[in-house]
Amino acid sequence: MNPVLAAVALLSIAAPAVAADRPVVVELFQSQGCSSCPPANANLNAIAGRPDVLALSFGVTYWDQLGWKDTFATKAYTDRQRVYARALGAQLGTPEMVVEGRDSLVGMDPRQVEAALRRARPASDTRIASASGRIEIAAGRAPRGTADVWLVRYDPRVQQVSIRRGENGGKTLPHRDIVRQLTRLGGWNGAAVSFAPPASPDPAYRTAVLVQTPDGGPILAAARLD
């Protein structure tokens, strides 16, 4: 078996990096029009079903001029990657995986992805829950200043995207865990707080919440809510 294909298969069954109640957050910034993105996209797809990982695929807009406009991309997702680039000292480009808001890698090599998951040491002492239609964040160790609370709605279904033009023209690329809504709910300063989330655009979408140090800093807490 090809060693790279074997490594991709291993990503889907590897031992958990952390307890299932606090997944490692892996954000992939990619574009359907980027010829380098399919391997990283395949690696994200491979880990998307693992209970120890929260995989999120963000489509960015700055390659739309190459002949194919990404069907999932928004300016908000491009802006999120720009914030990470400033915080992590990384060059803006695709593909890029950001792990826990701390570690940036290209994401094309499955062995490097697994190594990044094993390096991750996510915080896990802040409880996030959904009750009576509200999102509740328990009291916990406060960051310096106020952390951002992000609501993420993503589509867990595999979407087969037929690319008709541009660098990937003629290919059909599978995408999974595609982010479809990103909303800042407010701030968290260590005290218990709750928020009323906006309605989901689609009942098939899943919901996650991230508590994150401002300006593209480390993720302090994360949870799937359905």
For the chain, list the domains and their CATH numbers: 3-224 (3.40.30.10)
Per the DSSP assignment, residues forming a β-bridge with 193 are 137
What is the per-residue pLDDT across 28-61, written as a single tens digit (0 to 9) for each?
999 999 999 999 999 999 999 999 999 999 999 9
**pLDDT of the residue at 12:** 56
Name the residue type at position 74. T
Cα angle vertex 211, ends 208, 213, to 5°? 145
- What pLDDT sits at residue 126? 87
120, pLDDT greater than 80: yes
Looking at residue 16, what is its pLDDT?
Answer: 39
pTM here is 0.91
Place of tokens 């807490």: 221
Sheet holding 206-212, edge to edge: 103-105, 96-99, 24-30, 53-59, 178-188, 147-155, 206-212, 219-224
CB 44 within 8 A of CB 107: yes
* Structural contact between residues 107 and 94, judged by C-beta atoms closer than 8 angstroms: no
Q: Yes or no: say if 125 and 138 are a contact pair by the CB < 8 Å rule.
A: no
Name beta bridge partners: 160.
Answer: 174
The mean per-residue pLDDT over the stretch 154-161 comes to 97
* 117, pLDDT greater than 90: yes
Q: How far is CA 179 from the centre of its chain?
A: 8
Find out whether the peptide bond into 198 is cis, omega within 30 degrees of 0.
no
The pLDDT of residue 142 is: 73
The answer to whether residues 80 and 25 touch, using CB atoms and an 8 Å cutoff, is: no
* Alpha helices in 17-132, H assignment, sequence order: 37-47, 75-88, 110-119
**What is the overall mean pLDDT for the chain?**
91
- pLDDT class of 124 with cuts at 50, 70, 90: low
Q: Furthest-apart CA pair in the chain: how many Å? A: 52
Res. 86: pLDDT tops 80: yes
- State mean pLDDT over 166-180: 97
Question: Are residues 185 and 68 in contact, defined by beta-carbon separation less than 8 angstroms?
Answer: no
More confident residue, 1 or 160: 160
pLDDT computed for residue 99 by the predictor: 98
| pLDDT value at 187 more than 70 | yes
CA distance 184 to 148: 7
d(CA 141, CA 118): 24
Could you tell me how far CA 113 lies from the centroid of its own chain? Answer: 13
